[in-house]
Copies of this chain bind each other. A is one copy, B any other.
Amino acid sequence: MMKKFVTIKDIAKAAGVSINTVSRALNNKPDINQETKERVLRIARELGYVRDATALSLRYGLTRVVGVIFEDSSNPFYSEVLKGIELEARKEGFNLILMNTERRYELEEEAVKTMLSRRVDGLIIVPTQERAEDIDFLLSTNIPTVVLGVKLERKVLPQVYSDDETGAFLAVEHLIQRGRRRILFLNAFMYKSVAQMRYAGYVRAHTKNGLPIDKSLVFQIEEGVENAYAKMKEILFSGLEFDAVFCFNDMFAIGVLEALKEARVSVPEKVAVVGYDDISLSKYVCPPLTTVRIDKEAEGRMAFLLLFESIKQKNWKSNPKEVKLAVELIIRESA
């Protein structure tokens, strides 16, 4: 039974030199005879030598791996963010280990521990909860960590998020300008900073335009197309009056569109619908969705860049950077 991989020892034996002459050749060090070097390199190639990254990791205490912890990487939003991370990471020779939490805190905790055990050089995480204690846990790991898509109350970790207050404001003001007055808000739960920010934007658009906030128009639901669909059905059935729906995200909007279609409520004539995120899907639904665009790939790239900075600094915890990405209202046909 042969060994799985060729080591520098094998090369050394084949070349009749010591292992660290091999190392020198491989690493292009100056203190080596040119001929020896070429010979060693040739033999290494012939033998099919591939550097063992696990050995290097042990040696240097650095893995060149960053951990990515998402809620659900199959969610089109995150899959685009992931692409941005991967792109930027690749440039620096970093690899990605990916784990999903399915929005369950136990899984998040487990994922963080796994990443710790893997000795990742850094972590990009979308926290499922934003409780102070959970953030403290993240902080206690002592490994450079960037928080994605969340604005922490205490600015204790580097973070990237988009300007959700403005985004929501833009969306709702657009509805108001188009003459909508009773604007339903299908929001996510308010323990999330994102939900809070979008709510703030919703409120600001109303007050700025001299419109009152009717709390009975604001709902909070669990994420998922199906939940939005069900909630919309329920609202429709309840007889509540409204002429527009502002959705926490495009997935919600799609569920809403579905429910509205079944109830034969014309969009946007009778009810206008606005989403959030501008996932690639949104352009193609029926009718094409008016939404707030977040540059997801840029968010991912930014997250890695921020992380990379932190990794390079010893005192990355002091004065963590915060990046707020601009958003853009995309007007299509649903509102």
Interface residues of A (CB under 8 A from B): 1, 4-5, 48, 50-55, 57-58, 61, 63, 65, 72-74, 76, 79-80, 82-83, 86, 90, 95-100, 113-114, 116-119, 140, 142-143, 254, 257-258, 280-281, 284-287, 314
Contacts and interface: CB of A to CB of B under 8 A. Distances in A.
23 contacts: A1-B314, A4-B142, A50-B113, A52-B117, A52-B119, A53-B119, A54-B54, A54-B63, A54-B119, A72-B83, A74-B80, A74-B82, A76-B76, A76-B79, A95-B99, A96-B97, A96-B98, A97-B97, A257-B284, A284-B284, A285-B285, A285-B286, A286-B287
Contacts of A90: 99
Contacts of A50: 113, 116-117
Contact of A57 (B54, B82, B113, B284): B54
Nearest to A51: B117
Contact of A82 (B54, B73, B86): B73
A95 to B, nearest CB: 5
B281 A284 contact: yes
A143 B50 CA distance: 13
A100 B83 contact: yes
B114 A95 contact: yes
Contacts of A284: 254, 257-258, 281, 284-286
**What 3 pairs between A and B have smallest CB-CB spacing?**
A286-B286, A79-B79, A74-B83
Contact of A54 (B1, B99, B118): B118
